[in-house]
Amino acid sequence: MTYTAAADRYPSMQYRRVGRSGLKLPAISLGLWHNFGDDKPFEVQRDILRRAFDLGVTHFDLANNYGPPPGSAERNFGRHLREDFRPYRDELVISTKAGYLMWDGPYGEWGSRKYLISSLDASLARMGLEYVDIFYSHRFDPETPLEETMGALDYAVRSGRALYAGISSYSPEKTLEAAAILKDLGTPLLIHQPRYSMLDRWTEQGSPDLYQALDQAGAGSIVYSPLAQGRLTDRYFAGIPEGSRASQEHFLTTAQTEESLGTARKLNDLAAERGQTLAQMAISWVLRPRPNGAPPVTSALIGASSVRQLEDSLGALRTLSFSTEELDRIDAILAA
């Protein structure tokens, strides 16, 4: 069936400028970390992507190792592009990353110029693209000079393989160093992709904290795991469903204790008072206006295993503001 995007796809979405650049991203972006590998039916993937775009989600985020198996998410997304989204390429922001293990040998991970450019070329081939909009260094490499890693990002942009350069999971100090190197090279740092949720606030620590560093650099932020890999949802209140991703991952099965479930239930009560699901409130929280006029998070990166889950997450945009009392109550619940 030929796909035609919804004519009213843009009014329902909020778009936020990325730092001091000219680019805007949807307040909620779709990540293909899980659910777009070869273990997920292609038709389900297609339905999620189509519905996302119909609701104004213009940004799809990938990485070289997304799957399973690694590379399959990019390959499957390339097919979705060919069959559904090719006419809309100029309306899409497509990003990919390199930094984690992708192939055997000494050149298959981290931050060397050889690995980053080879990986980007392979990503473009899998997706059938001439360029991606954003190319990220997926993690800081302590054994490669930062000048080499940032030089590779600069080369990716100058060679036409990417339009913008980004980094992920860098400390505030390394973020400022990376931004300074890129500025000298003439390719500004566009964006940082950190992990951030009510349960994980490392980005708010330090002086400067990550958001202060990004404001100083003129870069934006797109946060991943705003639901703390499912812990900030009601999905596991009755136990971890057999066959779910949580049942197969050590991190989730060990992290979701009775204590953490109790915390989630209290947060869920507050979300209900706000007219939201817990997942919606968790997404709203990361996107909330920040204190003292600081720039807010640019976009929240969500995953979706179904159209229903996607639609529930996007419902967060209806209520992004929090009262001081609500924020204090959240902090008290988390501190208990």
Residue type (1 letter), 34: H
Q: What is the pLDDT of residue 240?
A: 61
The yes-or-no verdict on residue 292 having pLDDT over 80 is no
Decide if 196 contacts 203 (C-beta within 8 A): yes
Domain membership flag for residue 39: yes
Q: What is the pLDDT of residue 144?
A: 98
Residue 22: CATH number of its domain: 3.20.20.100
Q: What is the pLDDT of residue 180?
A: 98
Domain membership flag for residue 178: yes
Would you place residue 330 in the very low, low, confident or very high pLDDT band (cuts 50, 70, 90)?
Answer: very high
Which residue do the tokens 């971890």 mark? 240
Domain membership flag for residue 26: yes
Which pair of tokens denotes residue 225?
Answer: 């795991």
Domain count within the chain: 1
Task: Tell me the mean pLDDT in the region 3-29.
Answer: 97
Domain membership flag for residue 6: no
The yes-or-no verdict on residue 129 having pLDDT over 60 is yes
The per-residue pLDDT for range 183-231, each reduced to its tens digit, is 999 999 999 999 999 999 999 999 999 999 999 999 999 999 999 999 9
Domain membership flag for residue 248: no
Q: How far apart are CA 25 and CA 222, in angstroms?
A: 9
Residue type (1 letter), 138: H
Mean pLDDT of the chain: 94
DSSP string, 238-262: T-PPTTSHHHH-HHHHHH--HHHHH
The per-residue pLDDT for range 240-283, each reduced to its tens digit, is 655 555 545 544 544 567 778 889 999 999 999 999 999 999 99
Q: What is the pLDDT of residue 246?
A: 53
Domain membership flag for residue 179: yes
Domain membership flag for residue 332: no
Q: What is the pLDDT of residue 179?
A: 98
Decide if 38 contacts 298 (C-beta within 8 A): no
The yes-or-no verdict on residue 165 having pLDDT over 90 is yes
Q: What is the pLDDT of residue 253?
A: 47
Would you place residue 80 in the very low, low, confident or very high pLDDT band (cuts 50, 70, 90)?
Answer: very high
Closest residue by Cα to residue 81 from 98, 60, 67, 64: 60
Q: What is the pLDDT of residue 243?
A: 56
The yes-or-no verdict on residue 98 having pLDDT over 60 is yes
Task: Tell me the mean pLDDT in the region 1-16.
Answer: 95
Which pair of tokens denotes residue 74?
Answer: 């990019």
Give the residues across from 165 on adjacent strands.
Answer: 135, 189
Q: What is the pLDDT of residue 295?
A: 81
Print the domain residue range for 77.
15-230+290-321
Closest residue by Cα to residue 188 from 211, 157, 148: 157
Domain membership flag for residue 61: yes
More confident residue, 33 or 246: 33
